[in-house]
A and B are shown apart, each in its own frame.
Chain A
Amino acid sequence: KNEVEQSPQNLTAQEGEFITINCSYSVGISALHWLQQHPGGGIVSLFMLSSGKKKHGRLIATINIQEKHSSLHITASHPRDSAVYICAGLTQGGSEKLVFGKGTKLTVNP
């Protein structure tokens, strides 16, 4: 069964702190999406990666294929980063589809 697990479920930080959100996935997942869901519900795709590391502004995503683990880092966190961050695995073999983690709710306090 293709599975994606995220941790922590909830995370509270002070403005300026370095944030790490983790995602572990099972065999059968070939790549990962990181998504951001704003408090109003809108979803934005942040990264798609199958190897290595990607950076966009203060956001960095890494993936370790051998360990089947990905991390999303936020440097110099800001209250506007408060959102739910969702990891989604792309299944391989047969029909492709995305399998979602349950999300990490991040709250950054001023």
Chain B
Amino acid sequence: DAGVIQSPRHEVTEMGQEVTLRCKPISGHNSLFWYRQTMMRGLELLIYFNNNVPIDDSGMPEDRFSAKMPNASFSTLKIQPSEPRDSAVYFCASSRGPGQGSWGYTFGSGTRLTVV
């Protein structure tokens, strides 16, 4: 298994531009999570999906952020418009169920986003 695949690995964009981050979870994993990591705030859960359905998006910081999971093998996190304070490493993780909290997560390698 190739693990959780994220793209791109690095993204540098200008303020105001739209940014789309992509994630392919491990086949057979029912849950998908988007986290953001910064030095100041650590790892923050943005949103998670179970069986492609968003369960909790309370961590999404603003309406500028949106996430979709059109099928079991693909998810996107979009920021529109992007701002410098969105600069962070964004991680996607997946986990299998039932009782997903009883299993470890598998993380992707992350996307390092820099908004200038």
Whether chains A and B associate is no
